[in-house]
Amino acid sequence: MDIRKKVFGIDAPETLNTMFLFAAAYRALGRLDQALNIGLEVVEQRTTLHGSHDLQMYTAVQGVALTHHYMNNNRQAMAHQLQVFTGRHKILGIKHRDTVMAMRTLAVFRAVWAHENLGGNLLETLKDTFNRQVRELEEGAMSGAI
């Protein structure tokens, strides 16, 4: 990866794509701290280069959200996944499948957080909270609140 930084530069698409793949590989290997650091660097570089209109940046943010989720940093996972959902909603629209998947992932993260913080039967808590979160996100997106 360092050779790509030297050859192409830190902000080159080749470097950022390679870094994104490294983050995914580290996440798969359970090396979550390294995955998180690389993922955050990719997000920072993509944001600097393209602002908030870059779908690949939102893919990188989703990787960061997933890493936070695996690390049980549920508040950070929800915050990053909300960023993915709102970004995709603005670019692709509410009915696009990528937006819907981002919304459902956010609902799952919220349901897990609710279970861990509120207790109760895991299956019922997840099911009820997931369904409620999906409804709230759909209503918010349809009304333009998100």
52 DSSP assignment: T
pLDDT along the chain (146 residues), means of 10: 63 85 93 94 88 84 94 92 92 90 87 69 66 81 68
Give dist(CA 95, CA 98) in Å, integer: 8
For residue range 94-136, list pLDDT tens digits in order.
889 999 899 889 888 887 777 666 655 555 666 777 788 788 8
Q: Which is nearest to 37 in space by CA: 64, 2, 75?
A: 64
Alpha-helix runs per DSSP H in the chain:
2-8, 13-28, 32-50, 55-70, 74-92, 97-118, 122-143
Give dist(CA 101, CA 126) in Å, integer: 17
